[in-house]
Chain A
Amino acid sequence: MPRELTQNRIQKIWVPTKDDRRRGGAPHFANPPTVIVMVGLPARGKTYMSRKLTRYLNWIGMPTKVFNVGEYRREAVKNYSSYDFFKPDNECAVKIRQQCALAALRDVRSYLKDEGGQVAVFDATNTTRERRDMILKFGEENDFKIFFIESVCDDPSVIASNIMEVKVSCPDYRDCNKTEAMLDFQKRIECYKKSYQPLDPDRYDRDLSFIKVIDVGRRFLVNRIQDHIQSKIVYYLMNIHVQPRTIYLCRHGESTDNLKGRLGGDAGLSPHGKQFSSALARFVEEQQLKDLKVWTSQLCRSIQTAEHLGVPYEQWKALNEIDAGVCEEMTYDEVKEKLPEEFALRDEDKYYYRYPAGESYQDLVQRVEPVIMELERQENVLVICHQAVMRCLLAYFLDKSADEMPYLKCPLHTVLKLTPVAYGCKVESISLNVEAVNTHRERPEEVKRGPGTLIRRNSVTPLTSPESNIKKPRIDDLDEAPIQELPPSVSALALCSPSHIPLTLCTILHYLKVVSLLVFQR
Chain B
Amino acid sequence: GSSVPQFCNSPTMIVMVGLPARGKTYISKKLTRYLNWIGVPTKMFNVGQYRREAVKIYKNFEFFKPDNEEAMKIRKACAAAALKDVALYFTKEQGQVAVFDATNTTRERRAIILSFAMEMGYKVFFVESICDDPEIIAENIKQVKFGSPDYADRDIDEAMEDFIQRIDCYRASYMPIDDEKDRKLSYIKIFDVGSRYLVNRVQDHIQSRIVYYLMNIHVTPRSIYLSRHGESELNLLGRIGGDTGLSPRGQKYASALATFIKGQKISDLKVWTSHMKRTVQTAEALGVQYEQWKALNEIDAGVCEELTYEEIQENFPEEFALRDQDKYRYRYPKGESYEDLVHRLEPVIMELERQENVLVICHQAVMRCLLAYFLDKPADELPYLRCPLHTVLKLTPIAYGCKVESFFLNIEAVNTHRERPMNVNVSRKTEEALQTVPDHI
Contacts and interface: CB of A to CB of B under 8 A. Distances in A.
B423 interface: no
A328 B354 contact: no
Contact of B205 (A12, A218, A225, A374): A374
Contacts of B202: 238
A317 interface: yes
B200 A218 contact: yes
Contacts of B243: 357
Interface in A1-25: 2-3, 5, 7, 12-14, 16, 23, 25
Given A5-B281, A239-B208, A328-B334, A222 B199 contact: yes
B199 A318 contact: no
Given A2-B251, A14-B280, A224 B4 contact: no
Contacts of A2: 251, 254, 281, 284-285
B3 A221 contact: no
Contacts of A13: 275, 292
A201 B198 CA distance: 11
Given A5-B284, A222-B215, A317 B201 contact: no
Interface string B270-283: 00100111001100
Chain B, interface residues (CB within 8 Å), range: 35 or more
A224 B293 CA distance: 27
B340 A317 contact: yes
B195 interface: yes
Interface string A11-46: 011101000000101111100000000000000000
Contacts of B305: 357
Contact of B197 (A7, A222, A316): A222
Contact of B294 (A25, A222, A357): A25
A318 B216 CA distance: 24
B197 A221 contact: yes
A513 B343 CA distance: 59
Interface in B194-231: 195-202, 205, 208, 211-212, 215-216
B201 A218 contact: yes
A231 interface: yes
Contact of B277 (A5, A223, A366): A5
Contacts of B3: 298, 316-318
A22 to B, nearest CB: 13
Contacts of B280: 5, 14
B292 A295 contact: no
B4 A317 contact: yes
A148 to B, nearest CB: 14
A219 interface: yes
B1 interface: yes
Contact of A234 (B195, B201, B215): B215
Chain B contact surface mostly: mixed
Contacts of B275: 12-14
B354 A228 contact: yes
A366 B195 CA distance: 29
Interface string A297-318: 0100000000000000011111
A377 B215 contact: no
Contacts of A225: 215
Interface residues of A, number: 44
A26 B251 contact: no
A235 interface: yes
A366 B5 CA distance: 18
B199 A315 contact: no
Contacts of B281: 2, 5, 14
Interface string A176-213: 00000000000000000000000001000000000000
Nearest to A296: B5
A123 interface: no
A222 B212 CA distance: 12
Interface string A224-253: 110010010011001100000000000000
B200 A315 contact: no
Given A27-B291, A28-B291, A377-B205, A219 B272 contact: no
A13 B285 CA distance: 18
A238 B208 CA distance: 8
A220 B277 CA distance: 44
A7 B275 CA distance: 10
Contacts of A357: 243, 305
A366 B294 contact: yes
A363 interface: yes
B1 A224 contact: no
A183 B351 CA distance: 48
Contacts of B284: 2-3, 5, 16
Interface string B284-296: 1100000111110
Nearest to A231: B216
B292 A23 contact: yes
Contacts of A317: 3-4, 340, 343
Nearest to A230: B215
Contacts of A314: 5
Contacts of A315: 1, 5
Contacts of B215: 222, 225, 231, 234-235
A356 to B, nearest CB: 9
A370 B3 CA distance: 12
Contact of B293 (A3, A5, A27): A27
Nearest to B243: A357
A85 B165 CA distance: 62
A377 B294 CA distance: 26
Contacts of B196: 201, 221-224
A363 B294 contact: yes
Nearest to A202: B196
B266 to A, nearest CB: 18
Nearest to B241: A357
Contacts of B285: 2
Contacts of A26: 293-295
Contacts of B211: 238
Among A28, A225, A295, A370, chain B packs the most CB atoms within 10 A around the CB of A225
A203 B7 CA distance: 40
Contacts of A377: 205, 208
B294 A223 contact: no
B305 to A, nearest CB: 8
A14 B277 contact: yes
Nearest to A293: B5
Contacts of A298: 3
**Which of A27, A224, A314 has the largest number of chain B CB atoms within 10 A?**
A27
Contacts of A222: 196-199, 215
A218 B1 CA distance: 33
A255 to B, nearest CB: 16
Nearest to A25: B294
Nearest to B1: A315
Nearest to B258: A2
Q: Which of A28, A222, A315, A370 has the most CB of B within 10 A?
A: A222
Contacts of A12: 275
A239 B4 CA distance: 18
Contacts of B291: 27-28
A79 B157 CA distance: 75
A467 to B, nearest CB: 31
Nearest to B194: A225
A235 B7 CA distance: 18
Interface string B321-343: 00000000000001000001001
Contacts of A266: 334
Interface string B1-15: 101110100000000
Interface string B36-58: 00000000000000000000000
18 contacts: A5-B284, A7-B277, A13-B275, A13-B292, A14-B275, A14-B292, A26-B294, A221-B198, A223-B196, A224-B195, A231-B215, A231-B216, A231-B354, A238-B202, A238-B211, A317-B3, A317-B343, A377-B205
Given A220-B197, A234-B215, A238-B208, 8 more contacts: A14-B280, A27-B293, A218-B201, A223-B195, A224-B195, A228-B354, A317-B3, A374-B205
Closest 4 CB pairs of A and B: A317-B3, A314-B5, A27-B291, A2-B284
